[in-house]
Homo-oligomer: A and B are copies of this chain.
Amino acid sequence: MTDERISERTGRHGPTIRDVARIAGVSIGTASKALNANGRLRQETRDKVMAVAREIGYRPNDMAQSLHRTRSMTVGVLSTDSFGRFTLPIFKALEEEFADQGIAIFMCNATDDPERERQHLDQLLGKRIDGLVVTARRSDKRSPVGPLPPGLPVIYVFSQADDEESLSLVPDDESGARLAVRHLAEVGCTRIACVTGPEHFESVTLRRRGYSQSLREAGLPEHPEYYLPGPWSEAWGREAVGLLFDGKAERPDGLFCGNDQIARGAAEALRERAIDVPGQVAIVGFDNWNVMTDAARPPLSSVDMNLAALGHEAGRLLMDMIGGETIRGLRRLPCTLVVRDSSSR
Counting chain A residues whose Cβ lies within 8 A of the other chain, the interface size class is 35 or more
Residues of B with C-beta under 8 A to A109: 91-92, 95
In the complex, what distance in Å separates the CA atom of A233 from the CA atom of B299?
A: 14
- In the complex, the answer to whether B124 meets A107 with C-beta atoms within 8 Å is no
* A108 contacts chain B at the CB level, 8 A cutoff: yes
Q: How far is the CB of A258 from chain B (nearest CB, A)?
A: 16
Residues of B with C-beta under 8 A to A62: 126-128
Residues of B with C-beta under 8 A to A123: 99, 102, 104
Partner of A83, one of B60, B91, B234: B91
In the complex, what distance in Å separates the CA atom of A105 from the CA atom of B124?
A: 10
* A84 contacts chain B at the CB level, 8 A cutoff: yes
Partner of A261, one of B92, B119, B295: B295
Residues of B with C-beta under 8 A to A60: 126
Residues of B with C-beta under 8 A to A124: 104
Residues of B with C-beta under 8 A to A59: 122, 125-126
Chain A 114-130 interface mask (CB, 8 Å, partner B; 1/0): 00100110111111100
A78-108 contacts to B (CB < 8 Å): 82-84, 88, 91-92, 95, 99, 102, 104-108
Q: How far is the CB of A264 from chain B (nearest CB, A)?
A: 8
Chain A 57-73 interface mask (CB, 8 Å, partner B; 1/0): 00111111011000010
Residues of B with C-beta under 8 A to A126: 59-63
Partner of A104, one of B106, B116, B295: B106
Partner of A127, one of B63, B82, B84: B63
Q: How far is the CB of A2 from chain B (nearest CB, A)?
A: 18
- In the complex, the answer to whether B95 meets A107 with C-beta atoms within 8 Å is yes
Q: Which residue of B lies closest to A125 (CB)?
A: B59
- In the complex, the answer to whether B235 meets A295 with C-beta atoms within 8 Å is yes
Residues of B with C-beta under 8 A to A105: 106-108
Residues of B with C-beta under 8 A to A108: 95, 99, 104-105
In the complex, what distance in Å separates the CA atom of A83 from the CA atom of B107?
A: 12
In the complex, what distance in Å separates the CA atom of A163 from the CA atom of B82?
A: 32
In the complex, what distance in Å separates the CA atom of A60 from the CA atom of B126?
A: 6
In the complex, what distance in Å separates the CA atom of A265 from the CA atom of B126?
A: 49
Residues of B with C-beta under 8 A to A67: 63-64, 67
- In the complex, the answer to whether A92 meets B82 with C-beta atoms within 8 Å is yes
Residues of B with C-beta under 8 A to A249: none
Known: A63-B127, A106-B107. 10 other contacts (CB 8 A): A62-B127, A63-B126, A83-B91, A88-B88, A95-B107, A104-B108, A104-B127, A105-B106, A105-B108, A234-B295
